[in-house]
Chains A and B, each alone.
Chain A
Amino acid sequence: MKISRRKFFAGAGAAAGAFATTSESRIAAAQVAKTPKAVGLPDVWGQDFLYQWSPPDNVKRDTSPGPNVIRLSNSQDITNREGTDYAQMFQTMRDSGWTACEAASAAWLSRKMPDSEITEMKAQLKAHDVVFYNIHCAGNIIAPDPDAERWQRHIIDAYHSAEACGCRMILTHAGSMYPNRNTAHPLNWSKTAWERSVGALKNICKATAGGKVKICIEPVNTESINNPWAMKRLRDDVGDERINCGLDIQNMAYAGVAFRMTELLNTTFEVLNGMIGYIHAKDFVWDQMLPGLSWAMNGTGNMDYEVFLAHISKIPDPIMYVEFLSSPEEYQEAQRNIRAIAERIGVKIHGTQPPPQQA
């Protein structure tokens, strides 16, 4: 009978516990006995003495294209500015190769849009074949009280606006124990933080019960949803099918997976099968002495864009949101790389991009 190393040590720990007589050994035994089955990528080699950060030799790279055509959007958000010429706005997006758009919630909810304007916006979206799919929410649903409740109210308002505008989703976060959700609090992965996130989302689901709009959660390392298993568990704990993932796989990158992104992609799309609302398109490199990751141009970093695009083309109505770049020129460069890689493996991307401007 083959006994795995983990089982061997678990067994050894249990045996040690049984014979323990001193308080020290009792503590040690208790620690071993409570060792849970950990989430993470499979062992490669040397886990008993290395943090194994190299990929195995036999990583499966399935680059076969799926049947679905990907729409690209970027942070050229749809605005809620009074007097907006929607025909021109959507034509500009199309001319730049973008065929989907999302709104930022703070600006979007700052003005009550008249029904007639919503009707006009929808007509122009259809005329230009652009999809308005998301309200990207500000705020922190587990911020220290009383802010948490205020932000939950904001998310609920965004939800109702999304319904009115025909968006398929809103995007929010599990939140941080600090007021600013972008700041990692030492207790963001504590049971308290988890229960606050679950409770906040239950409140939001209850206030929007009966709605069809998806409530997507963006994973990010600074918060509790730092891997696909946590995302799945969050949906289970909230107990609402509308909880989905606004997948930002780059936000889950850390030293342990920085060079194993192909595997993380495969695992994530498997674990989150059927619950991915849309996908953020970024890239990164590990370019510092400490495990410091820096944002990189799409298609030049550690993301395996071939496998990434192949997976995305297999989910229904896929939309990729290119973000975290600094200028319209960079967004065009990112789009050019993404389209070239997609073409290489036969993945289809909606719309066309203008040729590069000659200097």
Chain B
Amino acid sequence: MKKHALMLGMILLPTLAMAATPDFNGSWVRNPADSDPMPNQMYWVTREVAGGGGGGRGGRGGRGGGEVTLTVQQDAKTLQVSQSNEIARKYTLDGKAHTRPTDTGIQKAEDTAHLEGDSLVIDTAEPFGGMPGNATLKIKETWSLSPDGKTLTITTTRDIPARHQTFKEVYTKTQAQPGAICSAGCIGPQ
């Protein structure tokens, strides 16, 4: 009896594990009411009048004013995330460091992504702003889904020697298909 139970367990475990793999596929609209204010991720301007945004070059860029939509395409090995006016990112979910050019194209960034229980963890290290000679910026994003799969929460920490920042973003799943509501910069279904 015990032997049968063990065999059944061996058969079911991988299936259960697969079932537990979080599915981030879809289009996600940022819920500003439940999200923290976003710092300008592209520039750390001193003596500035407070303002938002900017896209791109410092990792997933400043999601300042206006509606923010993420489009995610995920399969067993990769996850691609796209956002209007930003360069799409493709992560290999193997827990290994992968090098890519920064958004400036003149420096290197290193991404490491893996699924950890119900969460996706993405670590990135790059020179701040993708410019040569800068302080190293380390970004850690933790993605998690609500039990019904309709709410995505991304908690981000950003560390450079000068400052540590943590902020939370909450996204709600939309009915649109991946790529359907994206403007320039988004990548549609393959």
Interface residue ranges, A against B (CB under 8 Å) = 55, 61, 63, 262, 285, 287, 294-297, 299-308, 324-326, 330, 333-334, 336-337, 339-341, 344, 356
Using Cβ atoms and an 8 Å threshold, which residues of chain A touch B164?
356
Q: Are A341 and B45 in contact (CB under 8 A)?
A: no
Cβ contact within 8 Å between A287 and B45: yes
Of chain A, the residue at the smallest CB distance from B129 is: A300
Say yes or no: is B66 at the interface (Cβ < 8 Å to chain A): no
Q: Are A330 and B46 in contact (CB under 8 A)?
A: yes
| Chain B residue contacts of A297, Cβ below 8 A | 44-46, 162
Does chain A have a CB within 8 A of B14? Answer: no
**Nearest Cβ distance between residue B166 and chain A, in whole angstroms?**
11
A339–B161 touching, CB < 8 Å: yes
- A330–B162 alpha-carbon span in the complex (Å): 9
Interface string of B39-62 (1 = CB under 8 A from A): 000111111100000100000000
**In the complex, what residues of B have CB within 8 A of residue A334's CB?**
162
A285–B43 touching, CB < 8 Å:
yes
Q: Dominant SS at the B interface?
A: loop
Contact B133 A262 (CB under 8 A): yes
- Chain B contacts for A302, CB-based, 8 A: 129, 131
A55–B133 Cα distance when bound, in Å, is 14
**B162 in contact with A308 (CB, 8 Å):** no
Complex CA distance for A325 and B48, rounded to whole angstroms: 11
- Cα separation A302 to B130 with both chains bound (whole Å): 9
Taken together as a complex, chains A and B put the C-alpha atoms of A296 and B43 apart, in Å, by: 7
Q: Determine whether the beta carbon of B163 is less than 8 Å from that of A333.
A: yes
Q: For the complex, what is the distance from the CA of A299 to the CA of B128, rounded to whole Å?
A: 8
Chain A CB within 10 Å, residue with most, of B48, B54, B162: B162
Can you sample 5 A-B contacts with CB below 8 Å? A296-B43, A299-B160, A304-B131, A305-B133, A305-B135
| A300 lies within 8 A of B133 (CB) | no
Contact-residue size bin, chain B (C-beta under 8 Å from the other chain)? 20 to 34
B44: A residues at CB distance < 8 A: 296-297, 300-301
Please determine whether A299 and B46 come into contact, CB atoms closer than 8 angstroms: no
Cβ-defined partner of A337 (8 Å) among B46, B129, B160: B160
Nearest A residue to B132 via CB reads: A304
* A295 touching B131, Cβ below 8 Å: no
Q: Is the CB of B106 within 8 A of A55?
A: yes
B135 & A301 in contact (Cβ 8 Å cutoff): no
- Residues in A whose Cβ lies below 8 Å from that of B134: 299-301, 304-305, 341
On whether the beta carbons of B45 and A285 are closer than 8 Å, the reply is: yes
Contact with A along B125-155 (1 / 0, CB 8 A): 0001101111110000000000000000000
- Which chain A residues border B48 with CB–CB below 8 Å? 294
Residues in A whose Cβ lies below 8 Å from that of B128: 299-300
Provide the bound-state CA to CA distance between A239 and B45, in Å: 40
Q: What's the least CB distance linking A260 to chain B, in Å?
A: 11
The answer on a CB contact under 8 Å between A300 and B47 is no
Q: Which of A285, A330, A336 contacts B161 (CB 8 A)?
A: A336
Assess whether A287 is in contact with B43, with CB atoms less than 8 Å apart: yes
Q: Are A295 and B46 in contact (CB under 8 A)?
A: yes
**Docked complex Cα distance between A227 and B173 (Å):** 54
